[in-house]
Amino acid sequence: MSHWSGAHRSFAVEQYLKNGESLVRAHRTFCTHFNIRRLSDGPSTQLIWSWVQRFRQEGTTLNRAPPGPSTSVATPERVSEVQNEIIRNPRKSIRKIAASTGIKKSTVQVILKKKLRLHPYKMQIVQGLNERDYPLREIFARTMLERFRTPTAVRLQECIQKNGRHLDDIVFKK
C-alpha cells in the first residue's frame, strides 16, 4: 500500500499540469509544499507520471481494486453458514462449500479448522486377522529371510527362532 494519499496524488498531478507538464518541476514543487527536505524522499518522477497517466485514463489517481474476489473474514455469520452447509452434507468439499456460500476457499478452510475444529481425514479400511493368518505370516517371513541373507535378515531370523525373546541378549549384554 502506498503512503501517498489522494490529496498528495492530486496535488502532484495539478502541479504537473500547472508547470507546463514538467515532471521535474512538479516533483520539486511537491517536495517544497509538503516540507520534504530531500527530493529522494518524495515520490519519484516515474510515480508522478503514472499518477498523471491514470488520471488521464480513469479520471482518478487512486489505485484500482485488485482483481478477484474481495477479502473475506471469518465472521460469526459466515461461520454459521459454513456450519449449516456441513450439517446439510458432511461429504461436501471445501471448494463446493466456498462456491455455494460465496466465501473464499481459504476463509472456508480457516473456518473449518480453527473455528469449527474440523480436520480432513481419510477412512482407513483394515482387514482383520484370523487365527489361521498368523502361521501364514510366519511362513512368509521365513521365506523372505531365506531369499535375502543380510545382517538384518539374520537378526530377524534369530528373533523368530527365540519367539520374540531376542531383547534379553541385546539390552542385558554381559
Cell numbers given for 107 = 476463509
What CA–CA distance (Å, rounded) separates 114 from 136? 47
Q: What is the DSSP string of 10-75?
A: HHHHHHHHHTTS-HHHHHHHHHHHTT-SSGGGS--HHHHHHHHHHHHHHS--SPPPPSSSPP----
Helix axes 94-101, 76-88, angle to 10 degrees: 120
- pLDDT tens digits, 118-170: 887 777 787 887 888 888 888 887 787 777 777 777 777 777 777 655 555 55
What value does the mean pLDDT of the chain take?
Answer: 83
Closest CA to 9 of 52, 65, 41, 57: 52
- Which comes out higher in pLDDT, residue 48 or 148? 48
Q: Which of 58-67, 94-103, 109-118, 147-156 has the lowest mean pLDDT?
A: 147-156
Q: What is the value of pTM for the model shown?
A: 0.42
* pLDDT for residue 1: 43
* CA 67 and chain centroid, separation: 19
- Which comes out higher in pLDDT, residue 156 or 171? 156
